[in-house]
Amino acid sequence: KNQVEQSPQSLIILEGKNCTLQCNYTVSPFSNLRWYKQDTGRGPVSLTIMTFSENTKSNGRYTATLDADTKQSSLHITASQLSDSASYICVVSANKLSFGAGTTVTVRA
Protein backbone atom coordinates (compact mmCIF):
# COMPACT_ATOMS: atom_id res chain seq x y z
CA LYS A 1 0.00 0.00 0.00
CA ASN A 2 1.32 3.41 -1.00
CA GLN A 3 2.30 5.49 1.98
CA VAL A 4 1.12 8.64 0.19
CA GLU A 5 -2.47 8.64 -1.05
CA GLN A 6 -3.84 11.44 -3.22
CA SER A 7 -7.42 12.26 -4.07
CA PRO A 8 -9.20 12.70 -6.30
CA GLN A 9 -7.39 10.76 -9.01
CA SER A 10 -8.56 13.35 -11.53
CA LEU A 11 -10.85 16.33 -11.76
CA ILE A 12 -12.19 18.76 -14.34
CA ILE A 13 -12.93 22.37 -13.49
CA LEU A 14 -13.97 25.44 -15.40
CA GLU A 15 -11.51 28.26 -15.91
CA GLY A 16 -11.72 30.77 -13.08
CA LYS A 17 -12.99 28.28 -10.51
CA ASN A 18 -11.16 27.06 -7.43
CA CYS A 19 -10.26 23.49 -6.52
CA THR A 20 -8.62 21.58 -3.70
CA LEU A 21 -6.48 18.48 -3.94
CA GLN A 22 -5.89 16.15 -1.01
CA CYS A 23 -2.87 14.21 0.18
CA ASN A 24 -2.91 11.75 3.10
CA TYR A 25 0.28 10.07 4.21
CA THR A 26 1.45 7.47 6.68
CA VAL A 27 5.18 8.13 6.22
CA SER A 28 7.10 8.47 9.46
CA PRO A 29 9.18 10.13 10.78
CA PHE A 30 8.10 13.18 8.83
CA SER A 31 10.68 15.66 7.53
CA ASN A 32 8.92 17.75 4.92
CA LEU A 33 6.16 17.66 2.33
CA ARG A 34 6.31 19.00 -1.19
CA TRP A 35 3.81 19.57 -3.93
CA TYR A 36 5.07 19.24 -7.49
CA LYS A 37 3.36 20.25 -10.73
CA GLN A 38 3.94 18.04 -13.76
CA ASP A 39 2.85 19.31 -17.15
CA THR A 40 2.10 16.70 -19.80
CA GLY A 41 5.32 15.38 -21.29
CA ARG A 42 7.51 17.24 -18.82
CA GLY A 43 9.29 16.52 -15.57
CA PRO A 44 7.81 17.55 -12.20
CA VAL A 45 8.53 21.07 -10.92
CA SER A 46 8.42 21.98 -7.23
CA LEU A 47 5.57 24.29 -6.15
CA THR A 48 5.82 24.36 -2.36
CA ILE A 49 7.68 22.77 0.51
CA MET A 50 6.51 22.63 4.12
CA THR A 51 8.28 21.39 7.22
CA PHE A 52 6.69 19.97 10.35
CA SER A 53 6.20 23.40 11.93
CA GLU A 54 4.55 25.04 8.91
CA ASN A 55 0.85 24.70 8.27
CA THR A 56 0.44 26.85 5.17
CA LYS A 57 2.59 27.96 2.25
CA SER A 58 1.62 29.94 -0.82
CA ASN A 59 3.11 30.23 -4.29
CA GLY A 60 1.01 32.65 -6.33
CA ARG A 61 -2.42 31.10 -6.82
CA TYR A 62 -1.33 27.85 -5.20
CA THR A 63 -1.75 27.45 -1.44
CA ALA A 64 -0.68 24.32 0.38
CA THR A 65 -1.74 23.39 3.90
CA LEU A 66 -0.35 20.80 6.24
CA ASP A 67 -1.78 19.15 9.34
CA ALA A 68 1.06 17.06 10.70
CA ASP A 69 -1.14 15.67 13.49
CA THR A 70 -3.64 14.10 11.09
CA LYS A 71 -0.99 13.58 8.39
CA GLN A 72 -2.97 15.44 5.78
CA SER A 73 -2.07 18.09 3.25
CA SER A 74 -4.08 19.94 0.67
CA LEU A 75 -3.25 22.05 -2.36
CA HIS A 76 -5.72 24.79 -3.21
CA ILE A 77 -5.73 26.37 -6.66
CA THR A 78 -7.43 29.75 -6.79
CA ALA A 79 -8.99 31.25 -9.93
CA SER A 80 -7.78 28.43 -12.14
CA GLN A 81 -6.24 29.08 -15.52
CA LEU A 82 -5.85 26.83 -18.53
CA SER A 83 -2.14 26.57 -17.72
CA ASP A 84 -3.02 24.89 -14.43
CA SER A 85 -3.94 21.75 -16.38
CA ALA A 86 -1.36 19.27 -15.13
CA SER A 87 -0.74 16.48 -12.66
CA TYR A 88 -0.03 17.52 -9.09
CA ILE A 89 2.15 15.21 -7.06
CA CYS A 90 2.47 15.10 -3.27
CA VAL A 91 5.91 14.02 -2.03
CA VAL A 92 6.65 13.24 1.61
CA SER A 93 10.19 13.10 2.92
CA ALA A 94 11.16 10.82 5.79
CA ASN A 95 14.32 8.76 5.54
CA LYS A 96 13.49 8.60 1.83
CA LEU A 97 11.08 10.30 -0.53
CA SER A 98 7.62 8.81 -0.97
CA PHE A 99 5.62 9.91 -4.00
CA GLY A 100 1.88 10.00 -4.40
CA ALA A 101 0.38 8.84 -7.71
CA GLY A 102 -0.79 12.36 -8.44
CA THR A 103 -4.05 14.16 -9.21
CA THR A 104 -4.68 15.12 -12.83
CA VAL A 105 -6.36 18.51 -13.13
CA THR A 106 -8.01 19.59 -16.37
CA VAL A 107 -9.10 23.21 -16.65
CA ARG A 108 -11.65 23.90 -19.37
CA ALA A 109 -12.52 27.25 -20.91
Partner 1 sequence: IAGITQAPTSQILAAGRRMTLRCTQDMRHNAMYWYRQDLGLGLRLIHYSNTAGTTGKGEVPDGYSVSRANTDDFPLTLASAVPSQTSVYFCASSDSGTGSDTQYFGPGTRLTVL
Q: What mask, x for binding partner 1 by CB under 8 A, covers residues 46 to 85?
A: x--x------------------------------------
- Number of residues in contact with partner 1, rule: CB under 8 A? 23
3-state helix/strand/coil string of 13-34: EECCCCEEEEEEECCCCCCEEE
**Among the listed residues 5, 2, 1, the one whose alpha carbon sits nearest the alpha carbon of residue 73:** 5
Q: In terms of CB distance, is 23 or 80 closer to partner 1?
A: 23
Measure CA 10 to chain center: 12
Asked if 21 is part of the footprint of partner 1 (rule: CB under 8 A), the reply reads no
Q: Does 94 bind partner 1 (CB under 8 A)?
A: yes
24 sits near partner 1 (criterion: CB under 8 A)? no
CA dist list (Å): 68 to 21, 38, 99: 17, 25, 17
> By the criterion CB under 8 A, which residues form the site for partner 1?
2, 4, 31-32, 34, 41-46, 49, 89, 93-102
